[in-house]
Amino acid sequence: MTDNPLAGQPVFVAGAGIMGAGIAQVAAQAGHPVRLYDQRAGTAESARGRLADQLAGLVAKGRLDAGIAQQTLARIEPAHGTAQAAGCALVIEAIVEQIDAKRALLAELEAVVGPRCVLATNTSSISVTAIAQGLAHPGRVVGMHFFNPVARMPLVEVVSGLQTDAAVAAAVFALSRHWGKVPVHARSTPGFIVNRIARPYYAEALALLHEQAATPAVLDACLRGAGFRMGPCELMDLIGHDTNFAVTKSVFEACFQDRRYTPSPLQAEMVAGGLLGRKTGQGFYAYADGQPTTPALPVAVTEAPATAGEVTVHGAGPIADFLEHAATAALAAQGWGPARQRGSGWTGLQVDGARLVLTDGRTATEVAAAAGLRDVAVFDRPVALTPASPPAPGMALGYALAAGASDAWAAQAPAWLAALGFAPLPVADAPGLVVARTVAMLINEAADAVQQGVCTEPGADAAMTLGVNHPAGPFEFLSRWSAREVTALLDALDSHYRGERYRTSPLLRRRAVMPQDLP
């Protein structure tokens, strides 16, 4: 870090709102003198005042040294105009998200700062290339995209526009690391990394809701079961449907209305009706005193699993291995165990003449028709499962029955899933169910981003785990699955729905035909 030209240098932060105040704090904690400017008089002073209160609170709880708190505050000086950017080595703007305002501010600052001063923008959705356009030295403009709350969220997307000087991006990358952050390089493209790759997390839930495949509570339970900290519906309620909808629309418009990113009419209706989520007291859930009133989940298990004596685990790989282990445990009391067939081309459990099949993207009805059977159910992919970690007992898992399944199998399919250790949740017979289609689409979006040079594979993984707390990055999920199976699942979705949403990334499709999914 010692050879970084930005180390310890004065930083000018423009915009003292939520983000600017957080950025000023982080820079000051890392030892930089910070000048904090806001065009609204008194805003920088109040931001500093709020920070003083927060730091005092941490000191009182014994979580921060009083001396460090005092030094941090002493380094932040409210500024009263852009002229005070003179002598700064780095400007970070976090003003209103409007291109004209950002361009005007940077042009004003360019007239004040020295020729080597880096101009960073915290924009979350505007092209860095476009912000730099018209400046005398567009090469010094770089995106430094922090996440809210800045002090706690480790990720920084270091975004290069077409004219960004590589040395400028490298210096900001090194500086972010020095500030204790985890920087990831990104190319300036709509949504950068996180806001782009995260789109399917919301879009697939909205698509399933749109076709009434499951309730918000069931969708959330399924994705929490897969290890996501919050389900998509509760998360959209937290973010605010207006904000979430605006980001989706901005990516959609910036991609020339690529139908892959088509916003949901369901969400548009919620925004139009002011059902914005937590902040208005009503979104997918109702909030009484800030707490969601969550409807009860459907009860699927009504009887014990039964068999006439033939239980076979089909398939190879960690999921089939887990099923064998779980079925063995379930049958142990009866003094016998399941048979195993590895090469049958599907993964799941055969109980007498009925099948529980791991989703491959086809509906249960399609699987039943292809097998010439009535009693078929498909179950969702337990994506958290690795050879080293079995699913947590009672993990929620969606399943769907084939249209012609008997009443007996409708009761037995969830009974067997429960016997295997899952908490089965019924969903409509939608292709790819809930988790499999969502995670496949996250992988697909990440594969496109990598192919288009937006980020690297490790960059995508770091961005998604640190920026939005996903339990695994998209390529980590892919390593537990296979490009061939993900491509097959997406193809099944594509053939079911048509349109552009499930268009498979060329990177995945190429990888799918490589022997054993070699990278």
Catalytic annotation, residues: 145
User: What does the longest C-alpha to C-alpha distance in the chain come to?
Assistant: 84
Secondary structure (H, E, C), 18-50: HHHHHHHHHHHHCCCCEEEECCCCCHHHHHHHH
Cβ of residue 345: shortest distance to ligand NAI, in angstroms? 46
Cβ of residue 159: shortest distance to ligand NAI, in angstroms? 11
519 vs 516: CA distance, rounded Å:
9
Q: Residue type at 295?
A: P
Of the candidate residues 9, 13, 15, 192, the single one contacting ligand NAI (CB under 6 A): 15
Containing H/E element for 510? Answer: helix 506-512
Contact between 189 and ligand NAI by CB under 6 A: the answer reads: no
Contact between 292 and ligand NAI by CB under 6 A: the answer reads: no
Minimum CB distance to ligand NAI smaller for 43 or for 487: 43
Q: First CA to last CA across the chain, in angstroms?
A: 33
Contact between 300 and ligand NAI by CB under 6 A: the answer reads: no
Between 147 and 176, how does the x/- string for binding to ligand NAI read (CB under 6 A)? xx----------------------------
Minimum CB distance to ligand NAI smaller for 91 or for 489: 91
Cβ of residue 16: shortest distance to ligand NAI, in angstroms? 5
Contact between 18 and ligand NAI by CB under 6 A: the answer reads: yes
Minimum CB distance to ligand NAI smaller for 50 or for 259: 50
Q: What is the DSSP string of 318-365?
A: HHHHHHHHHHHHHHGGGT---EEESSSS--EEEETTEEEEE--SS-HH
Which residues 6+ apart lie within 8 Å of 66 measured at CB?
59
Angle formed at CA 346 by CA 342 and CA 347, multiple of 5 degrees: 75
Contact between 324 and ligand NAI by CB under 6 A: the answer reads: no
Minimum CB distance to ligand NAI smaller for 54 or for 294: 54
359 vs 2: CA distance, rounded Å:
53
The length of the chain in residues reads 519
Contact between 20 and ligand NAI by CB under 6 A: the answer reads: yes
Q: How many CB atoms lie within 10 A of CB 149?
A: 12
Q: Which stretch binds ligand NAI (CB under 6 A): 8-16, 154-162, 300-308, 382-390?
A: 8-16
Contact between 19 and ligand NAI by CB under 6 A: the answer reads: yes
Contact between 27 and ligand NAI by CB under 6 A: the answer reads: no
Q: Which 3 state secondary structure label does DSSP give 282?
A: strand
Of the candidate residues 16, 169, 468, 490, the single one contacting ligand NAI (CB under 6 A): 16
Residue nearest to ligand NAI (CB): 17
226 vs 215: CA distance, rounded Å:
17
Contact between 246 and ligand NAI by CB under 6 A: the answer reads: no
Minimum CB distance to ligand NAI smaller for 16 or for 427: 16
Rule CB under 6 A: which of 73-102 touch ligand NAI? Answer: 94-97, 101
518 vs 454: CA distance, rounded Å:
22
Cβ of residue 22: shortest distance to ligand NAI, in angstroms? 8
Contact between 38 and ligand NAI by CB under 6 A: the answer reads: yes
Minimum CB distance to ligand NAI smaller for 123 or for 244: 123
Between 103 and 132, how does the x/- string for binding to ligand NAI read (CB under 6 A)? --x----------------xxx--------
Of 517, 506, 487, 498, the C-alpha closest to 448 is: 506
Sign of the CA dihedral running 220, 222, 224, 226: negative
Site residues (CB under 6 A) for ligand NAI? 14-20, 37-40, 43, 94-97, 101, 105, 122-124, 146-148
